[in-house]
Amino acid sequence: MQIWRQNRGSVLGELAESLIIAIILAVLIRWLIFQPFFIPSGSMEPTLMTGDRIIVSKFSYWLNEPQRGDVIVFKYPRDPSRAFVKRVVATEGETIALEENQLIINGQPVPENYLPADLTFPDFGPVTIPDDHLFVLGDNRNNSDDSRVWGFLDEDLIIGKAVAVYWPVSRIRLID
């Protein structure tokens, strides 16, 4: 495919042209569509383990709102140069509480099948989530810097939805 000239050029010229196109496409895909992230801590165990590498869909929320249960990557509200990964447990307008190791939304218990059965954590709330904000928690509730510590997450800070673990090979899978 000749983009800038009609006549067939040298092999080196065609290789350079192909390389430039490949770089432009790679940058656009990473900037607009997918981005890899490294999990540096155990705050999302057992869903995501320390050292996991994940793919984040940056376009997931272009047309849809984040849903309860989504695992998201976002700019940390206290230091936007850092990225955090947590699970959405409540969305705008909902009232959340943690009581006796149970998530309560609008007064009703919500099952969290992704948590270890024997996990215990302190009570919290109730609090009501303001418009355009989320309440996010780590799956490892006792080792997580999350909305219980720094408050509601502004939806503008969301980078994208975590969709898959791609490394290590033994843990390759889609994230639910």
| Separation of alpha carbons 106 and 90, rounded Å | 10
- DSSP percent split of the chain into helix, strand, coil, nearest 5: 20, 35, 45
| Residues known to be catalytic | 43, 86
Neighbours of 119 (CB within 10 A): 13
DSSP assignment letter at 143: G
CA 154 to mean position of chain CA atoms:
14
